[in-house]
Amino acid sequence: MAVKIRLTRLGKTHAPFYRVVATDSRQKRDGEYLENLGTYDPLKNPAEIKIDVEAAKKWLDNGAQPTATAKAVLVKAGIKFAKSKTKTSTKRPAQPSKKKAK
């Protein structure tokens, strides 16, 4: 079972409120979840984020993958992520120079 940490939407039309949850990746966006990790209210200024850091770290240590938005919320809540170990270099390897022979 692949576990994701993602947001489920609550609230009224044009007044979103989100729960940060750990859920099976096959579930619907607002479907059943394994554990409620906290809340995110983007309408308050500044946005209100309440996360159970211990529970979030537990799920991350057990292999849960956060979505891009959930990861941004977790970072704002103070959870550190290790940098990716994959090397993504955009530089091209050096090519030997081709001089025209006269």
Mean pLDDT value across residues 51-56: 93
In-domain check, residue 88: no
Mean pLDDT value across residues 47-65: 92
Q: How confident is the model at residue 10 (pLDDT cuts 50, 70, 90)?
A: very high
In-domain check, residue 26: yes
Q: What is the CATH number of the domain that holds 50?
A: 3.30.1320.10
In-domain check, residue 9: yes
Q: Which of 57, 20, 60 is nearest to 40 (CA)?
A: 20
Cα(30)–Cα(16) distance, integer angstroms: 13
Number of domains, the chain: 1
In-domain check, residue 92: no
Cα(59)–Cα(57) distance, integer angstroms: 5
Cα(22)–Cα(15) distance, integer angstroms: 23
In-domain check, residue 55: yes
Domain range holding 53?
A: 3-76
In-domain check, residue 101: no
Q: How confident is the model at residue 65 (pLDDT cuts 50, 70, 90)?
A: very high
